[in-house]
Amino acid sequence: MVEVTPLDPSSFPSNSDKHRGTRFPQTIDDDVCLETGTDLWDGTHILFKPGMRHSSYTYSISQRYPDEWFGARFVLYPLLSNLYGISPTLRKSSPRRNGICVYLNSRAVLLFKCRVFGLSSGERSRVASIPSFVKTRGRDSILRFLEGFQYADGSFVCGKSPCVRVTTSSWRLAQELDATADEIPVRHSISRDHPTTGFSLRINEEKGIRRWIRLVPLLNPVQISKFLIWSRLSECPPRLFLRQCAGLLLGDISQSL
């Protein structure tokens, strides 16, 4: 494990952070790498008037509702709680977006992420890449980072040609995905999904799918359930909701309709 040395840890926590017992990871371990991968795609850092009297600091991870509630509650909630010592809040977003967000309102957490890990608070999707502190720990840490990123924007695609698909708006991260798949190795392709932005790593061959998922596991319950159906039945109907996947896994064939 790589030791983390904050610039000035005593200056990060607000009074609220101190009261709640907010803490920082003391080492860069697998959980830090995984959570960073999730943060760099689905995470948002909002710093409102930083340093001023009525400032606020919010770290949130957006999910789709209701299917991704399970991942928010049973994957992200314990991960953030264990890393930072405070319990996040789960809150539905506006009805128009039909989403759910996992919130941490913490000055300490945001300053730690920005100043120690060097994660930006602005638009990140088109410039995202594997952080240097993850690369320093080697391949296993890179795989844990990609596991978190895959949770946020990866999927097991069903239908006539099942595949693992991981998408990104960043050409640099697409190249890093390509290099990692080469190193594993698995047969794959990198395609452009949009004339100017949007790239996808796709793994179609069954042997490659199983090898990739063994090294970069699916964490999202929706994607896990689709993969389990495919593994058990050798096929999986497309566009299923989580409840339909669960029904199929429990033997209710009507859920495939």
Distance linking the first and last C-alpha atoms of the chain? 49
Q: Is residue 169 part of a domain?
A: no
What is the predicted pLDDT for the residue at 233? 83
Residue 142 pLDDT more than 90?
Answer: yes
Convert the pLDDT of each residue in 39-92 to its tens digit.
988 888 888 767 666 678 889 988 888 788 889 999 999 999 999 999 999 988
Q: Is residue 231 part of a domain?
A: no
Q: Is residue 151 part of a domain?
A: no
Of the candidates 106, 6, 96, 100, the one whose C-alpha atom is nearest the C-alpha of residue 50 is: 106
What is the predicted pLDDT for the residue at 257? 43
**Long-range pairs, 2-11, Cβ under 8 A, ≥24:** 2/27, 2/28, 2/133, 2/136, 2/137, 3/27, 3/28, 4/28, 4/116, 5/116, 6/112, 6/115, 6/116, 7/115, 7/116, 11/111
Extract the runs of DSSP E, i.e. beta strands, from the chain.
2-3, 27-28, 43-48, 56-64, 89-92, 99-105, 154-157, 163-168, 189-192, 199-203
Q: Is residue 152 part of a domain?
A: no
Range of the structural domain that residue 107 is part of: 1-124
What is the predicted pLDDT for the residue at 253? 58
Q: Is residue 168 part of a domain?
A: no
Asked if 157 and 165 count as a contact pair (C-beta separation under 8 A), the reply is: yes
Convert the pLDDT of each residue in 172-217 to its tens digit.
999 999 999 999 999 999 998 777 678 999 999 999 999 999 999 9
Q: What is the CATH number of the domain that holds 40?
A: 3.10.28.10
Whole-number Cα distances in Å, 221 to 91, 93, 126, 204: 19, 20, 26, 21
Average pLDDT over residues 108-135: 87
Q: Is residue 40 part of a domain?
A: yes
Q: Is residue 65 part of a domain?
A: yes
Average pLDDT over residues 146-171: 91
Average pLDDT over residues 97-113: 89
DSSP assigned state of 4? P
What is the predicted pLDDT for the residue at 241? 80
Residue 218 pLDDT more than 50?
Answer: yes
Percent share of the chain, pLDDT over 70:
89
Q: Is residue 55 part of a domain?
A: yes
- Looking at the structure of the chain, the number of domains it has is 1
Residue 3 pLDDT more than 50?
Answer: yes
What is the predicted pLDDT for the residue at 52? 65
Q: What is the pTM of this model?
A: 0.89
What is the predicted pLDDT for the residue at 223? 92
